[in-house]
């Protein structure tokens, strides 16, 4: 039987995590897809990364699969995808899901608070 810790260890083993500063540099380079995986209530309270797509972790499989009516066109297998959440855990787990679905360039950028504190662009 697996515990939450086991899922997190598996996710962290396959989804690289970078600092907010590194993520902001990638953002400024352009050509990357930023996705906030928190639910809409959490995003409404704190805001999110400017221009980030909003795909709740619980919808990731559907949003990433072109065969579903919930598919997000921006989620392409060859896209350079950067995931953010509240503290990094949900982003890691969502990243593992994407990796399992054949996405190769998936990065966990941790929590939105770190992004905001580091001066990354935000929106409500």
CATH number of 4-123: 3.40.250.10
Q: How many C-alpha atoms does 81 have within 13 Å on its Cβ side?
A: 31
3-state secondary structure 6-28: HHHHHHHHHCCECCHHHHHHHHH
pLDDT of residue 71: 97
pLDDT of residue 89: 94
* pLDDT of amino acid 105: 97
pLDDT at 97: 98
Quote the pTM value: 0.95
Region label for 119, one of left (φ > 0), alpha (ψ between -120 and 50) or beta (otherwise): left
pLDDT in 10s for each residue of the chain, 124 residues:
999 999 999 999 999 999 999 999 999 999 999 999 999 999 999 999 999 999 999 999 999 999 999 999 999 999 999 999 999 999 999 999 999 999 999 999 999 999 999 999 999 9
Report how far residue 17's alpha carbon sits from residue 21's, in angstroms, rounded to the nearest whole number: 12
- Give the pLDDT score at 61: 97
């Amino acid at each position: 039987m697996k515990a939450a810790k086991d899922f997190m260890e598996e996710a962290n083993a396959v989804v690289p995590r970078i600092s907010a500063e590194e993520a902001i540099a990638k953002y400024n380079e352009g050509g990357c897809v930023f996705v906030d995986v928190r639910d809409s209530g959490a995003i409404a309270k704190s805001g999110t990364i400017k221009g980030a797509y909003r795909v709740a972790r619980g919808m990731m499989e559907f949003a990433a699969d072109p065969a579903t009516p919930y598919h997000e066109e921006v989620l392409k297998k060859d896209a350079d995808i950067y995931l953010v959440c509240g503290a990094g855990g949900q982003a890691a787990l969502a990243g593992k899901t994407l990796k399992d679905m054949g996405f190769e360039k998936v990065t966990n950028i941790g929590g939105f608070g770190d992004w905001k504190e580091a001066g990354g662009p935000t929106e409500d």
